[in-house]
Amino acid sequence: MIKTANLQKIFTTEEVETTALNGIDLEVKDGEFVAIMGPSGCGKSTLLNILGLLDNPSEGSYDFHGTEVAKLSERQRAQLRKGNIGFVFQSFNLIDELTVYENVELPLLYLKVPADQRKEMVETVLTRMNIMHRRNHFPQQLSGGQQQRTAIARAVVAKPKLILADEPTGNLDSANGEEVMKLLSQLNDEGTSIIMVTHSPYDAGFAHRIVNLFDGKVVTEKMRV
Amino acid sequence: MREGIGQWSSAFSAMPKIHTAMLSNYLTIAFRNLWKNKVYSFINIMGLALGMACSLMIMLWVQDETAMDAFHENGTRLYRVMENQYYSGKIETYPSTPGLLAENIVKDIPEIEKASQMLWEEQPLFTVGTTFDKEKGRYVQGDFLTMFSFKLEQGDARTALKRPDGVVISKKLAQKYFPNQNPLGKSIRIDGKEDVMVTGILKDIPKNSSLKFDFLMSFDRWLKNNPWAKEWGNNGPRCYVMLTKNASLDKVNAKIKGYIKTKNKDSNVEIFLQSYQESYLYSNWDSGKQNGGRIDYVRIFSIVAIVILLIACINFMNLATARSVKRAKEVGVRKVIGAVKGILIGQFMGEAILIAFCALLFSILLVFLLLPTFNLLTEKELSLNFTDPSFLVVLVSLTLITGLVAGSYPALFMSSLNPVVVLKGSLKFKPSATYFRKGLVVFQFALSITLILGMIIVHEQINYLRTKNAGYDRENLLYMPLEGDLQKNFASFKQELQHQPGIKSVTCSQSDPLEVGSSTQGVKWPGKDTTQLLLFANNAISYDYIKTMGIQLIGGRDFSDQYGTDTTNYIINEASAKKMGYKDPVGKEMTMWNRKGTIVGLMKDFHYNTLHSAIEPLILRLQPKTENWGVVIIRAEGGKTPDAIANTEKVFKKFNPNFPFKYFFADQEYANQYKSENVVNKLSNYFAFLAIFISCLGLFGLASFTAEQRTKEIGVRKVLGASVSNLVGMLSLDFIKLVLLATLIAFPVAWYFLKNWLEKYAYRIDIEWWYFAIAALSAIAIALLTVSYQAVRASLMNPVKSLKTE
C-alpha cells in the first residue's frame, strides 16, 4: 500500500539546515498496523506528515497505492488525501465552533456525500465510538477521552484505507488511552491500515510491527510475535 | 503573482460547486464565530458599517450632483453661451451676453434651432386683489419651454411665453393667488405697475434641476424696461441655445466665435457654447480655460468616500488576521480532511462578504438616521430609495466590493497556513506578513492624519475668512431693496428714517454692500496707455455711503451736498490709484463714461466682493437721484438693532404700503457667502473623526494580535524582572513608531493638497508648522490610548500562564 525509497527531508531556515529524515525506506502493507517510535526530534512526526501527504519530501520516492506522490502539488495531495487517509492527533484538533456531529460530518461534506447517506454514516460511527449521546455537544464540553473518540470517528467516517495517528494517547489518562488503543486495534482488525507514532511501548504493543527511528534513519524494525 | 491569480480563479471556480450542506456548514461556523467573539465582531462590523454608511451618503450626494439637469429631453442639444472677455493680460469668462443675442443668433446660425435669453433670478412684487408678496422667478423667451423640459400642467408650452404679457406660474403660486379658481387667463399686477396674464401652470420642477423658479415671464418685456441690455457692448442676461440634431459643437463654436464683433466692431468679446448639463458642475473658468467648479467637490468627496471605505476595509483585514490565530486550527483540520486552498479562500471571502452584508444593514440604519442632518447640511433632498433598481445595484456592489477588498488579504493569508504547523499549535507569523499588516496600519494612519490636517487647515481658513477685517464695518449694518415708491421718495424716506431712535445713518447704492457686480472699461485719465483694456468695478452711491458703510478714507472727503459738482466727481480705492499711477490721487482728473471730473476721495482698500477674489480697482460715483434699482443701507447704533428694525419697518410701511418688508443683515449675508466652505468645514470634521475612529479600531485589533503573539516573550521578560511599566512602554513604543512613520508620509501629501486648496483664495492663511504638530500629537495620543489597554492587559498577565501556552 505504501512504499518509500530513500526519503529525505531537510528543513532550511536562514542559517541552519536540519536533516529531519535521512534516507527512509519503508513499506506498509494493506491491513498492517505499524508503530513508529524513537526519541524526541528523531523525525517521527515529519515522516508521518509526509506519509499523510501533508508535506512533500525533499528527495526520494513515495508510492501511495501505486501512485508516485513525492512531487505532487498541494492541491493534488489534498485531493488524494480526501477520503483515503484519516488523521488522529495527540491534541485531538476538533473545531471548537462545531458540535461533535458537525465535526464528524465535515470530511463527508468535502467528499460531497448526499445528505441521507451522510446522516447514516455519521450516526453509525458515532454509535460505534459510543458518543452518540453527546452528538450535539461542543468539544469543550467533552472529556479528553470523548474528544479523542470524536476525533477517531472523524478520521474513520469516510472509511479511509489508512489511518495516521500521532501519539493518540499522549493527552489521555491510562483508562481512556486503553480504550482508544482498543478502538484502533478493532479498526485494524476490520482491514484499515494504521501507522501510529508513539512514545509509549505499551501502545506500540498493539502494532504488528515497530519501526525505530533515530536521527532521521530507521535503526531497527521489529515484528510483534 | 501568477500563483495568486490562479488561487483566485480556483476560488471562484470552486464556488458554484459548493453544495448547500457545505454552505450551511460555512454559515454555521461563521455565525458561531461572530457570536462567540462578540466584542471583536462588534468592532469589526461597526467599523465597516461606519465606513459604508459614510460612503453610501457620499455616493448618494455624488449621484445627485452628477444627475443634475439630466432630465431635459433635449439635454444633449442644450448649450449655454459663454463669453471670453479679453483685457490686458487676462481673459475673464462669464455666462453674460448682450440681451439681443438669442433672437439674432438663431436667425444667423443655421445649426442653432432655438435660442432663449434668460435673466438672473428676480424677485418682483406680485399683487392679486389684497394678496401680495415677492416671488422668485425668471424672465425667459418664447422657445424656453420647448427647449427645456419644464412641463406645463395647464397651458400650451409652445405659446405660453410668446406674448409679452404672459406669465407661467407654479402650482404653489396658483394656489396662493388664486385659491380654488382656474388661474388661466387671470391677471397679476407686477411691481405695482404692469399687469400680466397667466398663460400656464407649471408642473413641479424636478428635484435635480439646478434652475428653480416659481414663475416665468417674458424677457422681452424686461428688455423694454432695461434698454441698456439692448446694446451689443453691454453684457448681462444669459443666453441658451438648442442645436439641431446633427450639429457639430466644434463647427458651431468656430462659427460663432467672432459673432459679437460682427455686431459691435469694438468688442473685446468672443463667445462659445458650453453643454447645459455640464454647466452645473463645471462653472469655473481661468484664463479662458475650464477650471472645475462643483466637480471639484464631487471629486474630493468621492476620494474621501473611497479613503474611508478603504480605512474600514484595512481595519477588517487587520482584525481578521489578528483573529486568524484562533481560526488556524480550523484551517489546519479542514486542510487535513481534504480542503484545497481555493475552497478555503472561497469560504473566508464568503465570510467577509457575509460580514460586509451585516455591516450594510447597520450602515443603512445609520444612513437612515443621519440623512436628515446630512440633507440639512448639504441642502439636498437625498433619500434611500429601495424601489430604485440602480440604488439596489449600488448597495449590492458596495457590499461585494467591501467584502472582497476587506476579505482578500485574510482569505489569502489564512488559506495559506500550513496545517502541519498550525496543528502543532505553534503558529508563528513570517516577518513579511507582519510587515504587511504594519504597513496597513501605517497607511491607515497616514490617511487619517491627512484628514486631520485637512480638518485643521480648512477650519483655520474658514475662521480667517469669517473674522477677517473686510475694510468696512459689517456689524449692525442692514440693507433692503430700494423698490416701489421708495425709489422716487428716497430723500424724504431717508430724512424720516434718520430721526428714528436706533438709526445712525442711511444711504443707498446701486450694488449691495457685499458685492459690487458692475464693471467698466470706460475709464480714462491723463497719461493713460490707451492701448490697454482695463476693467474698473464701479458703484453708484448716494450721500453718506462712506460713513454708513464704515469705510476708511485715507485722503480727501466723502461726497457731500455742500458741493454742487460732486455728481461728476469720483471716489476711488487704493487699487485704482495704483492702476492709474497716482501717488496722491485726490484732486486729480479722471473721466468715466465721458463724464470728466475730479477724484475727491481715496478709500483704503476694502473687500467689496468675497475673499475668493483679490481687491480690484473700484470707483464710486454719486447718483443722488435714485434710479429704478438698488439697495437702502442702514447703520444701526450698536446694541439697538431691534429698535432700528422696528422703526425702519414703521417708516417703510408708510412709504411703501404695498410691498412686504424684507431686510438683510450684512454680517449674516457675509457668512452666507462662505456657505460651501462651511459645509466643507463641517464635513471634513466628521470625516476626519470617522477616519481616526475607524483607524483606532484597527490599531486596537493589531495591538491585541501583537500582545497575543508576544505572550511568551512577555512572560520571559517578566520572569527576568521586567516591570509592568517597562512592558507597557515596550509594547506601546512599537505602535508609536508606526504612527510616526505615518505622519512622515502624511505631511507632504497633506501639504501638497491643502496648499492647492488654499490657492483658490486670494486671501488665505499660511500653513503653520504647529498645524502639523497638532495633527501628529493628536494621532499619537489617540494611538497610545488605543494600544495601552492591550499593552497593560498583556503586561499584567501571569507569566506562569503565558509560558505554559507554548
List chain A domain ranges: 1-82+194-225
Residues of chain B with pLDDT under 50: 1-17, 805-806
A-chain residues near B334 (CB < 8 A): 106, 110
Across the interface, whether the CB atoms of A82 and B19 are under 8 A apart is answered no
Measured CA distances, B435 to B307, B325, B713 (Å):
21, 17, 19
* DSSP characters over chain A: -EEEEEEEEEEE-SS-EEEEEEEEEEEE-TT-EEEEE-STTSSHHHHHHHHTTSS--SEEEEEETTEE-TT--HHHHHHHHTTTEEEE-TT----TTS-HHHHHHHHHHHTT--HHHHHHHHHHHHHHTT-GGGTTS-GGGS-HHHHHHHHHHHHHTT--SEEEEESTTTTS-HHHHHHHHHHHHHHHHTT-EEEEE-S-HHHHTTSSEEEEEETTEEEEEEE--
Across the interface, whether the CB atoms of B341 and A112 are under 8 A apart is answered no
Chain B nearest-CA residue for A116 = B21
Q: Are B445 and B739 in contact (CB under 8 A)?
A: yes
User: What is the distance between the alpha carbons of residues B666 and B634, in angstroms, rounded to a whole number?
Assistant: 10
A-chain residues near B424 (CB < 8 A): 45
Across the interface, whether the CB atoms of A89 and B423 are under 8 A apart is answered yes
Across the interface, whether the CB atoms of B333 and A94 are under 8 A apart is answered yes
A-chain residues near B33 (CB < 8 A): 97
* DSSP characters over B528-596: --TT----EEEEEE-TTHHHHHTPPEEEE----TT-TTGGG-EEEEHHHHHHHT-SS-TT-EEEETTEE
CATH of domain A1-82+194-225: 3.40.50.300
Q: Suggest the residue from B337, B420, B423 to mutate for an interface test with chain A (most A CBs closer than 10 A).
A: B337
Q: Strand A193-197 vs strand A162-166: parallel, antiparallel, or unpaired?
A: parallel
Across the interface, whether the CB atoms of B21 and A82 are under 8 A apart is answered no
- pLDDT value, residue B600: 93
Work out the minimum CA distance from A130 to partner chain B, whole angstroms.
22
A-chain residues near B419 (CB < 8 A): 54
Residues of chain A with pLDDT under 50: none
- pLDDT value, residue B13: 46
User: What is the distance between the alpha carbons of residues B574 and B608, in angstroms, rounded to a whole number?
Assistant: 13
Q: How many CB atoms lie within 10 A of CB B764?
A: 17
Cβ partners under 8 Å of residue B416, min gap 6:
B341
User: What is the distance between the alpha carbons of residues B487 and B655, in angstroms, rounded to a whole number?
Assistant: 10
pTM, two decimals, is 0.80
* Chain A interface with B: residues with Cβ < 8 Å: 45, 49, 52, 54-55, 74-75, 78-79, 81-83, 87, 89, 91, 93-98, 102, 105-107, 109-112, 115, 118, 154
- pLDDT value, residue B803: 64
Across the interface, whether the CB atoms of A96 and B334 are under 8 A apart is answered no
SS3 label, residue B519? strand
Q: Suggest the residue from A13, A21, A96 to mutate for an interface test with chain B (most B CBs closer than 10 A).
A: A96
Chain B nearest-CA residue for A138 = B32
What is the C-alpha R_g of chain B?
34
Chain B nearest-CA residue for A107 = B337
Q: How many CB atoms lie within 10 A of CB B404?
A: 16
Across the interface, whether the CB atoms of B337 and A95 are under 8 A apart is answered no
User: What is the distance between the alpha carbons of residues B57 and B65, in angstroms, rounded to a whole number?
Assistant: 12
Across the interface, whether the CB atoms of A54 and B32 are under 8 A apart is answered no
Work out the minimum CA distance from B335 to partner chain A, whole angstroms.
7
Across the interface, whether the CB atoms of A54 and B419 are under 8 A apart is answered yes
- Is some CB atom of chain A closer than 8 A to the CB atom of B340? yes
User: What is the distance between the alpha carbons of residues B95 and B37, in angstroms, rounded to a whole number?
Assistant: 61
- Is some CB atom of chain A closer than 8 A to the CB atom of B339? yes
Closest in A74, A91, A107 to B337, CB measured: A107
Nearest to residue B53, comparing CAs of B331, B474, B371?
B371
Across the interface, whether the CB atoms of A93 and B333 are under 8 A apart is answered yes
Q: Are B480 and B662 in contact (CB under 8 A)?
A: yes
User: What is the distance between the alpha carbons of residues B81 and B101, in angstroms, rounded to a whole number?
Assistant: 9
What is the number of alpha carbons within 13 Å of residue A217 lying toward its C-beta? Answer: 4
- pLDDT value, residue B534: 81
B-chain residues near A96 (CB < 8 A): 329
Amino acid identity of B741? L
